[in-house]
């Protein structure tokens, strides 16, 4: 057990609160729904970046590579000034949804380089231009460009030419759970000496302005001399903390209060306001900071002239100890170095207690029988670097998420009441929701709010390194202060009532399994607790998303944004409704997830046998409906094309297939599971019911495989896309889907599976309503339309989460069918592979997005020279939201390690596979 393992154990057993402090500060709080008190719900316009330095937030705080406690009372982050910018660089800048030509888009370069699960060691990097930051140019040029043009990025402005920038590294190392060492390292990469102002900022989140009875915290000077200064921060709940600052910088104090004079032209309620330090340093306003050196926000002001290639280091220490005699001596450096080393030991040694299961060894070709390790010995240095930064991004993307919807809707007692119109804009049905938790974010700038189905995928790689946090996240979404009383899981803050794919059951089972595989133990209490809540959620789905009660589900947009010809979450321009192939398939998958969990729980509690039987029967009815809907027997399956499509029901009950060849028709592959003969023998009640269906309901059993025919090792399989007729397997439907999936002229890219078939490049799908054309083209990169804000595109790019589910499904099919079932991969190549080998091939194509090719270039960065050739850039990895369907170029949000962090698990699996050969 490494030192980090020991810390995790102490945190798990509530011995030491190692996770009290972490990277829980957002990268962007402005422009969020929580801070929006407008009548029309235009969050981006109500609270802007320009206001952020002057206006106090209600529900959270933001800063550059910052940390805070787990209730976000006391915050720390980096602030910089190059002597040319019009404002301090206190927060990451980007364009709003209305400013960017492809929706919101962060316009800076920062990287999460390392973190342990307890945040005992963390490292981040911010690249700060030495020229004036081109705020106006970025807005104007992106607004000038249309939706068919690429985004205009900060590198495109030329501010990084001749390396005229600073690399600013920020490291955190915990001496104890309450003592955090902070080291800031600034390097001048440019050819000339430059002056850099560094202002490490400590402040309290404003909790007092919203409640007249709330006591106000205070920061003051406890000691100051030539060697170091000590600031004392006192909070009525958090208690006292002391902030040690190396050297003798000028200490600048102000208050975290709104500058009403600047924003609204009225008198300030406080003499010193949020932007006081900015005004003092940048504008030279000497009276902007408090000469008495007290306040709720403070920054020591360091100013360096740094020569070309030179480095300056600042040391700080945030502690619960008031008297550290020599805080910046050799002990400081020793602790930093020790925590770095312990991080390496953790990632090299984790997972030494469990071996791959029989299922894993059979499903994953030649899987190693050695103990599971996060980075198996066969992993190369490039893959190790990618994986390590993926984990770092996941851990850095934790955020304190605070949102009391009832208070947000009604307003605070001592504030002006919000306009009444806003009660009808969003989330008025979620007034039970009251969150104040550490939650995994998709991206702390572009998506600084939880998204339920994103979070489910986050938990897979998180479970490899910190199963307790992964389980906590899945449990949170089903708790009474999240889940709606009707059973719906909240989607995301822009509209909690929107519908995400029901992947929570899948993620719960995966995390349960991963904890066994990587950590040698299973948490049945977690499995049972979440399962009980998911019963409510499953019932909500059945009652709310099956229009005709025929086991075919509408669902809505289901997280796939613009994948269809219409906005599937809104009223259709044609009228009527859509029976969704993906909605129905997700529900079939959900049934099988719940069946699998129920069978596991039934092994110790026979009560769950009845539940397993119920989900088994429900799956059979859904499978039947996929192939035979209603009196007209309209099928989602198109026999001519050999593919699943959505079916549009017009108001006159006319039915039309919407023949967009997309991921929607591949999602039926996800609904597959196997049942071990040992499990059936241990559960006689369930086995008896299964055998009864085989004997008495041939009309249902014909739609799925393979209750009757036994696969490798006498296994049984349930699947939508693999039918059995009598005792003869009929795999034509399955093979026809696979032939498109693995066709490089359709779904198969060099870098994974596309969201829409390349077939539509030359054959766009057109649908006419009142002579108005609705059209879907193959678009491998950014979206060309504004559907769902235009910032995400499912019409051709590669998306990591659904690729991951495809890989897992193929592994399950291989586990049942064995090595005798082979397909061409790629289609038409004559190269036959088992489905296990296909899953490995798809994994390697996804990994190829990030790894260096023969030219030492990474496809993810395309023609961006800095990332491809510069030694200070080319090993830095960004984890984009999705990827160009033909080139692998990173597209969309650039820090969405969340579900793109799944690459860490694929790297582990592929390394394990290679090691065993």
Looking at residue 357, its pLDDT comes to: 55
Query: In sequence order, which residues have a C-beta less than 8 Å from that of residue 347 and are 6 or more positions away?
Result: 374, 375, 388, 391, 465
Looking at residue 352, its pLDDT comes to: 42
C-alpha dist (Å) from residue 75 to 67, 203, 241, 247: 6, 5, 11, 22
Give me 15's structure tokens. 């011995």
Looking at residue 732, its pLDDT comes to: 79
Q: Which of 69-78, 341-350, 364-373, 511-520 has the lowest mean pLDDT?
A: 364-373
Q: Each residue of 152-186: b (16+ CB within 10 Å) or e?
A: bbbbebebbeebbbbbbbbbbbbbebbbbbbbbbb
Q: Are 443 and 898 in contact (CB under 8 A)?
A: yes
Q: Token pair 């050695």 is at which residue?
A: 370
Q: Which of 239-243, 247-251, 706-710 has the lowest mean pLDDT?
A: 706-710
CA–CA dist 856, 840 (Å, integer):
23
Within a 10 A sphere around the Cβ of 651, how many other Cβ atoms? 10
State the pLDDT confidence band at 362, using cuts at 50, 70 and 90.
low
The conformation of residue 490, written as its DSSP 8-state character, comes to P
Looking at residue 722, its pLDDT comes to: 66
Nearest to 356 by CA among 811, 903, 668, 904: 811
Q: Is the pLDDT of residue 370 over 50?
A: no
CA–CA dist 310, 308 (Å, integer):
5
Give me 333's structure tokens. 């450096």
Looking at residue 588, its pLDDT comes to: 93
Looking at residue 790, its pLDDT comes to: 81
Residue 109 bridge partners (DSSP): 127
pTM tops 0.75, yes or no: yes
Could you tell me the sign of the dihedral formed by the alpha carbons of 543, 547, 551, 557, in that order? negative
Number of alpha carbons in the 13 Å side-chain half-sphere of residue 48: 7
Give me 617's structure tokens. 């029967």
Rg (C-alpha) for the chain, rounded Å, is 28
CA–CA dist 727, 399 (Å, integer):
53
Q: Is the pLDDT of residue 696 over 80?
A: no
Backbone dihedral angles phi then psi of residue 401, each to the nearest 5 degrees: -115, 115
Q: Is the pLDDT of residue 728 over 70?
A: no
Alpha carbon 765 to chain centroid, angstroms: 31
Looking at residue 711, its pLDDT comes to: 63
Within a 10 A sphere around the Cβ of 824, how many other Cβ atoms? 17
Q: Which of 232-246, 343-357, 574-588 has the lowest mean pLDDT?
A: 343-357
State the pLDDT confidence band at 555, using cuts at 50, 70 and 90.
confident
DSSP one-letter string for 206-236: --STT-TTPPP-EEEEEEE-SSEEEEEEEET
Q: Is the pLDDT of residue 355 over 60?
A: no
Instruction: Provide the percentage of residues in the chain whose pLDDT is more than 90.
Output: 78
State the pLDDT confidence band at 637, using cuts at 50, 70 and 90.
confident
Residue 172 bridge partners (DSSP): 122, 182
Nearest to 200 by CA among 307, 318, 72, 86: 318
Q: Are 766 and 774 in contact (CB under 8 A)?
A: yes
Query: 252-293, pLDDT tens digit by residue?
Result: 999 999 999 999 999 999 999 999 999 999 999 999 999 999
Query: 849-883, pLDDT tens digit by residue?
Result: 999 999 999 999 999 999 999 999 999 999 999 99
Q: Are 390 and 862 in contact (CB under 8 A)?
A: no
Query: 300-318, pLDDT tens digit by residue?
Result: 999 999 999 999 999 999 9
**DSSP SS3 for 196:** strand
State the pLDDT confidence band at 691, using cuts at 50, 70 and 90.
confident
Question: Residues 588-611: what's their mean pLDDT?
Answer: 96
C-alpha dist (Å) from residue 43 to 97, 105, 826: 10, 15, 46
Q: Are 155 and 127 in contact (CB under 8 A)?
A: no
Within a 10 A sphere around the Cβ of 331, how many other Cβ atoms? 13
Q: Are 533 and 489 in contact (CB under 8 A)?
A: no
CA–CA dist 824, 742 (Å, integer):
8
Instruction: Provide the percentage of residues in the chain whose pLDDT is more than 70.
Output: 93
Could you tell me the sign of the dihedral formed by the alpha carbons of 606, 608, 610, 615, in that order? negative
Looking at residue 709, its pLDDT comes to: 59
Q: Which of 561-565, 577-581, 615-619 has the lowest mean pLDDT?
A: 577-581
- Angle 558-562-566 from CA coordinates, rounded to 5°: 90
Q: Is the pLDDT of residue 401 over 70?
A: yes
Question: Residues 463-487: what's their mean pLDDT?
Answer: 97
Nearest to 132 by CA among 164, 94, 91, 92: 164
Number of alpha carbons in the 13 Å side-chain half-sphere of residue 135: 13
Q: Is the pLDDT of residue 629 over 50?
A: no
CA–CA dist 476, 492 (Å, integer):
14
CA–CA dist 817, 365 (Å, integer):
13
Alpha carbon 508 to chain centroid, angstroms: 16
Q: Residue 832: in which H helix or E strand, if any?
A: strand 832-834
Q: Are 357 and 339 in contact (CB under 8 A)?
A: no
Residue 243 bridge partners (DSSP): 231, 318
Q: Which of 10-14, 562-566, 601-605 has the lowest mean pLDDT?
A: 562-566
Q: Token pair 């805070």 is at which residue?
A: 68
Query: 734-771, pLDDT tens digit by residue?
Result: 899 999 999 999 999 999 999 999 999 999 999 999 88
Whole-number average pLDDT of the chain: 92
Nearest to 845 by CA among 909, 751, 746: 751
CA–CA dist 706, 687 (Å, integer):
14
State the pLDDT confidence band at 366, using cuts at 50, 70 and 90.
very low
Q: Is the pLDDT of residue 636 over 80?
A: yes
Residue 69 bridge partners (DSSP): 21
Q: Are 646 and 579 in contact (CB under 8 A)?
A: yes
Looking at residue 705, its pLDDT comes to: 56
Q: Is the pLDDT of residue 117 over 60?
A: yes
Q: Is the pLDDT of residue 546 over 80?
A: no
Q: Is the pLDDT of residue 730 over 50?
A: no
Q: How far apart are the first and last CA of the chain?
A: 28
Q: Are 354 and 518 in contact (CB under 8 A)?
A: yes
Q: Are 365 and 837 in contact (CB under 8 A)?
A: yes
Within a 10 A sphere around the Cβ of 485, how many other Cβ atoms? 9
State the pLDDT confidence band at 584, using cuts at 50, 70 and 90.
confident
CA–CA dist 63, 90 (Å, integer):
6
Nearest to 841 by CA among 755, 721, 744: 744
Q: Which of 149-158, 493-502, 538-547, 878-887 has the lowest mean pLDDT?
A: 538-547
């Amino acid at each position: 057990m490494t030192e980090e393992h020991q810390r995790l154990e102490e945190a798990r057993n509530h011995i030491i609160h190692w996770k009290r402090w972490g990277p829980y500060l957002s990268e962007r709080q402005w422009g969020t729904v929580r801070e929006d008190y407008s009548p029309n719900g235009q969050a981006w316009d109500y609270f802007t970046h320009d206001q952020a330095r002057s206006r106090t937030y209600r529900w959270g705080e933001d800063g550059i590579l910052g940390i805070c406690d787990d209730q976000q009372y006391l915050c720390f982050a980096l602030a910089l000034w190059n002597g040319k910018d019009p404002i301090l660089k206190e927060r990451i800048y980007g364009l709003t949804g209305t400013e960017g030509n492809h929706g919101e888009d962060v316009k800076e370069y920062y990287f999460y380089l390392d973190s342990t699960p307890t945040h005992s060691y963390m490292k981040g990097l911010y690249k700060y231009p030495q020229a004036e930051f081109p705020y106006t140019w970025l807005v104007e040029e992106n607004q000038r460009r249309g939706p068919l043009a690429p985004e205009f990025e900060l590198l495109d402005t030329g501010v990084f030419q001749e390396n005229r920038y600073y690399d600013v590294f920020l490291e955190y190392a915990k001496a104890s759970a309450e003592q955090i060492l902070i080291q800031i390292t600034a390097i001048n990469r440019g050819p000339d000496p430059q002056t850099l102002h560094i202002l490490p900022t400590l402040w309290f989140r404003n909790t007092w302005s919203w409640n007249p009875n709330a006591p106000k915290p205070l920061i003051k000077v406890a000691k100051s001399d030539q060697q170091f200064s000590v600031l004392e921060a006192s909070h009525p709940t958090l208690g006292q903390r002391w902030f040690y600052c190396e050297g003798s910088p000028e200490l600048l104090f102000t208050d975290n209060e709104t500058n009403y004079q600047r924003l609204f032209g009225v008198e300030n309620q406080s003499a010193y306001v949020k932007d006081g330090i900015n005004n003092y340093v940048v504008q030279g306003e000497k009276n902007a900071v408090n000469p008495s050196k007290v306040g709720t926000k403070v920054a020591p002001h360091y100013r360096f002239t740094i020569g070309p290639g030179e480095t300056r280091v600042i040391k700080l220490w945030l502690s619960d100890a008031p008297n550290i005699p020599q805080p910046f001596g050799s002990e400081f450096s020793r602790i930093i170095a020790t925590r770095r080393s312990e991080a390496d030991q953790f990632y090299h040694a984790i997972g030494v207690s469990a071996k791959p299961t029989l299922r894993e060894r059979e499903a994953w070709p030649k899987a190693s029988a050695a103990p599971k390790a996060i980075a198996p010995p066969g992993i190369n240095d490039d893959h190790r670097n990618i994986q390590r930064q993926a984990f770092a991004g996941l851990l850095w993307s934790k955020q304190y998420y605070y949102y009391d919807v009832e208070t947000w809707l009604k307003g605070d007692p001592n504030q002006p009441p919000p306009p009444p119109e806003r009660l009808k804009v969003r989330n008025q049905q979620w007034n039970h929701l009251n969150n104040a938790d550490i939650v995994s974010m998709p991206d702390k700038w572009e998506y600084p709010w939880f998204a339920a189905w994103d979070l489910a995928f986050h938990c897979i790689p998180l479970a490899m390194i910190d199963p307790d946090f992964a389980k906590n996240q899945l449990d949170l979404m089903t708790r009474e202060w999240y889940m709606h009383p009707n059973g719906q899981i909240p989607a995301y803050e822009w509209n909690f009532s929107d519908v995400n794919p029901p992947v929570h059951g899948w993620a719960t089972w995966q995390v349960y399994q991963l904890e066994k595989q990587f950590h040698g133990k299973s948490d049945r209490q977690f499995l049972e607790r979440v399962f009980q809540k998911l019963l409510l959620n499953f019932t909500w789905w059945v009652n709310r998303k099956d229009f005709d009660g025929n086991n075919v589900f509408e669902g809505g947009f289901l997280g796939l944004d613009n994948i269809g010809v219409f906005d599937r979450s809104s009223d259709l321009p044609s009228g009527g409704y859509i029976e969704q192939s993906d909605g129905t398939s997700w529900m079939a998958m959900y049934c099988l997830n719940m069946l699998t969990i129920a069978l596991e729980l039934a092994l110790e509690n026979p009560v769950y046998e009845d539940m397993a039987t119920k989900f088994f029967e429900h799956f059979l009815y859904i499978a039947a409906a996929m192939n035979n809907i209603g009196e007209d027997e309209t099928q989602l399956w198109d026999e001519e094309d050999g593919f699943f499509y959505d079916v549009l029901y017009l108001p006159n009950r006319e039915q039309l297939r919407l023949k967009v060849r997309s991921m929607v028709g591949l999602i039926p592959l996800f609904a597959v599971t196997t049942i071990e003969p040992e499990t059936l023998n241990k559960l006689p009640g369930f086995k008896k019911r299964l055998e009864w269906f085989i004997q008495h309901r041939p009309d249902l059993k014909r739609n799925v495989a393979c209750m009757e025919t036994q696969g490798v090792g006498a296994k049984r399989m349930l699947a939508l896309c693999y039918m059995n007729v009598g005792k003869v397997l009929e795999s034509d439907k399955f093979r026809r889907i696979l032939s498109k999936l693995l066709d490089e002229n359709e779904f198969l890219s060099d870098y994974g599976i596309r969201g829409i078939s390349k077939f539509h490049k030359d054959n766009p799908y057109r649908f006419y309503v009142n002579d108005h054309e609705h059209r879907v083209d193959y678009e491998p990169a950014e979206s060309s339309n504004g559907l769902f804000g235009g910032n995400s595109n499912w019409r051709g790019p590669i998306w990591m989460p659904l690729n991951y589910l495809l890989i897992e499904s193929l592994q399950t099919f291989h586990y049942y069918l064995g090595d005798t079932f082979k397909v061409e991969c790629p289609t038409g190549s004559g190269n036959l592979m088992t489905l296990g080998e296909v899953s490995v091939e798809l994994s390697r194509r996804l990994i190829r997005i990030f790894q260096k090719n023969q030219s030492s270039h990474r496809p993810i960065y395309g023609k961006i020279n800095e990332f491809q050739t510069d030694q200070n850039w080319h090993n830095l990895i960004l984890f984009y939201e999705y990827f160009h369907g033909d080139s692998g170029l990173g597209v969309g949000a650039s820090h969405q390690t969340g579900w793109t962090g799944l690459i860490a698990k694929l790297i582990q699996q592929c390394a394990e596979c290679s090691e065993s050969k």
